[in-house]
Chain A
């Protein structure tokens, strides 16, 4: 993997975190599991990037955290999307859709008669 692809992946991770939290607040593990389940374990979320990403998002004010207890009565840190986070999700979603579409077009188009 090159450096640029890491950045690319980081941006994707942020987007997926925001999307996950848009359903309901949850903790870091919940986010990781949700992404894994959604992609049928195709995407494996690395804890080494997940938590720094969460903390950065919190620092940027896109999500907030709060300590709570799970239904199994375990204390865990829950993340919740803020208004700013919702806005960011919307614009990042659109951008990502256009970007992925564009990449896809390039990949799918065969060279024409030059």
Chain B
């Protein structure tokens, strides 16, 4: 058989230039053109072989090819491009899988190394995940209502005293009617009610809302319906919308709850709907409710800030000025001095309260921790790069492109980051649980914090950034050090030195960040110690309180309430195991407050004070001060006749404010009405002055003035609180609960509160911050110590020969110790200096949290710095020991 292709038989040798083209994506159209051109040339040759002249042959060939050639070319190009895309995808996938497999193998070969890297990252990422969950929950979107960017909270604030009040209903109604920049404005009232029922009555939290609230808050109705406008009236039959949990607990499932009734205190509600749980409330004390009932027109106050949804285009400033203008009109009409003392403040949700600074600080600290963790992993990568240098240079020499090697190293670090991320999520979840368990009371909403999609996304982003970040650092470093040098020089070449410099820089960074965290932690530890030593002004040992809130429905008039308080005291007195019992309006830290200024009889300028200032108020029986073991500065406590004589007892700070240079006892005072039209209050006589006490919070830096009114029963405005001092070793929980059930079987027994717990709760945010920051600082110091250890150990191993020579030449052990330690100490001190500068700038954020210690407290700075130096020296110990044990003979022979 003849060979079909004649002289133009094939050869499979691919020209090199074509091979390269494949790497950059083949130029499909050029290929097609080449192919056709070749065909044309061959056709011409063929015609010439048959005897045509070249010109004739060309004309004939182009005549033949000309038909349909354009369309054919286009079709070929289309097919080729489609195919090329598929190949590229396939190739990228293959490379990725190959890289991943290789990376997994490499990491698997060094299990210990990989574990350290992953755990380090997991700590950093986990801590960030946990703290970001908190930030997310408290600052970014605390209410979780639809369209959060358009939401604002409206409060009344006294700029001088910093006191914030929730706007009253009348203002909200005026805004709702007149404000043009708002879509809607909602206020929520809450009340703890008793559900009478088997086996024992128990408390439920009821939220009073307007019918439109559910849509406003994005509540998901899963059964029945929400309120109608005509159901929000006094005379309408009571209806309730239950939370899902309550509906299931009481009635089994959602659908069978509908139409059933629920008796709360004396009102029987018909269940008309069920909503999914998790509807958050803009309230100070309660962020969720068990059930919802219509807000009746008579309700005058809300449980927290008013929430408004802005119209598109409205700014916080424009809304604030509009709301102020409207409220000015309202308050002018009423002439109330309290209203006049407060201005309307509009803010985005999540920025109210002192917690903001703390949370921001936590977020910063935890970010520092992550930086340190990353620096440590970068260390690990660099340390490993030293051992992999040869591998990489061999691969480079064998033709692996830089890009390929960088990609390979990046794949490895991304894999590490992915591992760190996965483990970090677990750490983060545990951390978040821990934070929730430790959480101070004023972070109440936190129980709702969880790792949601946003947190997850942030974590993934952090992981990716860290992975790429330290991956690139290591990778660039690896390929930059020239192949040639590495292959030739074995150890200690320029690349090694360069890397050493990078690692030293990393250690300095780690050290400086650690110092900042250490100083923050020290300041907070000192704060907590200071708080621990505060004298609250009364004795908290075995002091308990049982606050009864008497439902209006059953304790309508003063007589029944007085009777309850009297019964409570009589019955409590008969209980064994108590040193003293009394009934009062409240106990610390739940003191009632009066807003306004006091007027002293005969002192002309005494009423000049700020109308928005705050006085704590309690209504007590004569034995109260004795039971609390409060100290009298002058005068005496109440007796049974005090109420009739209109006597009061005031705190030293209030006495000093009214009569700066004279004894207050026997003088007269009253609340200044501030409104010439309303009749003045009658005068009260000061019977005694007690030492200032922590009535609102343990660290009451303002020394809020206090006033005590006498009472025969101890019943006050709020309700009746049974205050007891138990005998040592007596547990007050069961018998007080039984006492409550005996007095009123239809009242859910109140929680027995330990007053020392209440006090501690007021400083819980300091303890919480201390616990977290100390943990972060501890981790940071550990990580940077490991980093420093790595650098020094590396230095020692690199200079073994040099050390050997020195020893051989007669250097003493001390000289060697000095050599190594100097290096470590140098790095630590450099870090320390940078850290101190950073800390002095950063501690300002702590100002509100600290107590009894200045943010720039030199002792704390010194302590933090000393702690770091100590740890740094410890980290250098092991390498130093290794250095002084270098045997000069062995050291000089090896290599």
Instruction: List the interface of chain A (C-beta within 8 A of B).
Output: 20, 23-30, 32-34, 37, 46-49, 51-52, 54-56, 58-59, 66-72, 74-78
Is B639 on the interface with A (CB-CB < 8 A)? Answer: no
Contact of A75 among B34, B42, B67 (CB under 8 A): B34
* A47:B39 contact, CB within 8 angstroms: yes
Show 7 residue pairs from A and B whose CB-CB distance is below 8 angstroms, ordered by the A residue: A29-B42, A29-B43, A32-B39, A47-B39, A52-B79, A56-B79, A67-B15
* Interface residue stretch chosen among B68-76, B403-411, B480-488, B513-521: B68-76
Known: A70-B11, A77-B31, A77-B35. A47 touches B75 (CB 8 A): no
Q: How far is the CA of A45 from the CA of B825 in the complex (A)?
A: 85
Known: A51-B32, A51-B72, A69-B13. A75 touches B8 (CB 8 A): no
Minimum CB–CB distance from A52 to chain B (whole Å) comes to: 4
Contact of A68 among B14, B36, B43 (CB under 8 A): B14
Is B82 on the interface with A (CB-CB < 8 A)? Answer: yes
* A58:B13 contact, CB within 8 angstroms: no
Is B9 on the interface with A (CB-CB < 8 A)? Answer: yes
Q: How far is the CA of A28 from the CA of B35 in the complex (A)?
A: 8
* A48:B39 contact, CB within 8 angstroms: no
* A48:B5 contact, CB within 8 angstroms: no
Query: How large, as a class, is the contact surface on chain B?
Result: 35 or more
Q: How far is the CA of A37 from the CA of B2 in the complex (A)?
A: 11
Known: A66-B14, A67-B15, A75-B34. A28 touches B4 (CB 8 A): no
* A70:B13 contact, CB within 8 angstroms: no
Is B18 on the interface with A (CB-CB < 8 A)? Answer: yes
Residues 1-34 of B at the A interface (beta carbon under 8 Å): 4-5, 7-15, 18, 31-32, 34
Q: Collect the chain B residues with CB atoms within 8 Å of residue A26's CB.
A: 4-5, 9-10
Minimum CB–CB distance from A93 to chain B (whole Å) comes to: 18
Chain A residue with the shortest CB-CB distance to B28: A55
* B9:A48 contact, CB within 8 angstroms: no
* B12:A68 contact, CB within 8 angstroms: yes
Is B733 on the interface with A (CB-CB < 8 A)? Answer: no
Q: How far is the CA of A54 from the CA of B11 in the complex (A)?
A: 19
| New contact pairs (5) apart from A47-B36, A75-B38, CB-CB < 8 Å | A25-B12, A37-B4, A52-B76, A55-B76, A67-B18
Contact of A78 among B12, B43, B68 (CB under 8 A): B12
Contact of B83 among A27, A28, A58 (CB under 8 A): A58
Minimum CB–CB distance from A68 to chain B (whole Å) comes to: 5
Minimum CB–CB distance from B49 to chain A (whole Å) comes to: 11
Q: Collect the chain B residues with CB atoms within 8 Å of residue A20's CB.
A: 4
Q: Collect the chain A residues with CB atoms within 8 Å of residue B67's CB.
A: 46, 48
Q: How far is the CA of A25 from the CA of B3 in the complex (A)?
A: 12
Residues 25-67 of B at the A interface (beta carbon under 8 Å): 31-32, 34-36, 38-39, 41-43, 46, 64-65, 67
Is B80 on the interface with A (CB-CB < 8 A)? Answer: yes
Q: Collect the chain A residues with CB atoms within 8 Å of residue B8's CB.
A: 27, 29-30, 70-72, 74, 76
Q: Collect the chain A residues with CB atoms within 8 Å of residue B18's CB.
A: 67
Q: How far is the CA of A33 from the CA of B64 in the complex (A)?
A: 14
Q: How far is the CA of A68 from the CA of B19 in the complex (A)?
A: 11
Q: How far is the CA of A34 from the CA of B65 in the complex (A)?
A: 17
Q: How far is the CA of A104 from the CA of B79 in the complex (A)?
A: 36
Q: Collect the chain A residues with CB atoms within 8 Å of residue B64's CB.
A: 47
Minimum CB–CB distance from B403 to chain A (whole Å) comes to: 24
Q: Collect the chain A residues with CB atoms within 8 Å of residue B71's CB.
A: 48
Q: How far is the CA of A29 from the CA of B8 in the complex (A)?
A: 10
Q: Collect the chain B residues with CB atoms within 8 Å of residue A47's CB.
A: 36, 39, 64-65, 68-69, 72
Chain B residue with the shortest CB-CB distance to A57: B79
* A49:B72 contact, CB within 8 angstroms: yes
Contact of B5 among A34, A56, A67, A77 (CB under 8 A): A34
Q: How far is the CA of A58 from the CA of B34 in the complex (A)?
A: 17
Chain A residue with the shortest CB-CB distance to B38: A76
Q: Collect the chain B residues with CB atoms within 8 Å of residue A76's CB.
A: 8, 35, 38
* A51:B36 contact, CB within 8 angstroms: yes
Q: Collect the chain B residues with CB atoms within 8 Å of residue A70's CB.
A: 7-11
Q: Collect the chain A residues with CB atoms within 8 Å of residue B10's CB.
A: 24-27, 30, 68, 70, 78
Q: Which of B34, B67, B75 has the most CB of A within 10 A?
A: B75
Minimum CB–CB distance from A24 to chain B (whole Å) comes to: 7
Contact of A55 among B12, B13, B42, B80 (CB under 8 A): B80
Q: How far is the CA of A71 from the CA of B69 in the complex (A)?
A: 27
Q: How far is the CA of A69 from the CA of B34 in the complex (A)?
A: 13
Minimum CB–CB distance from A92 to chain B (whole Å) comes to: 20
Q: How far is the CA of A66 from the CA of B4 in the complex (A)?
A: 19
Q: Collect the chain B residues with CB atoms within 8 Å of residue A67's CB.
A: 14-15, 18
* A52:B72 contact, CB within 8 angstroms: yes
Q: Collect the chain A residues with CB atoms within 8 Å of residue B79's CB.
A: 52, 55-56, 58-59
Chain A residue with the shortest CB-CB distance to B43: A29
Minimum CB–CB distance from A41 to chain B (whole Å) comes to: 11
Contact of B82 among A33, A59, A71 (CB under 8 A): A59
* A52:B75 contact, CB within 8 angstroms: yes
Q: How far is the CA of A36 from the CA of B81 in the complex (A)?
A: 30
Chain A residue with the shortest CB-CB distance to B82: A59
Known: A67-B15, A68-B14. A74 touches B38 (CB 8 A): yes
Q: Which of A37, A49, A54, A76 has the most CB of B within 10 A?
A: A76
Q: Collect the chain A residues with CB atoms within 8 Å of residue B7's CB.
A: 70-72
Q: Collect the chain A residues with CB atoms within 8 Å of residue B9's CB.
A: 24, 26, 70-71
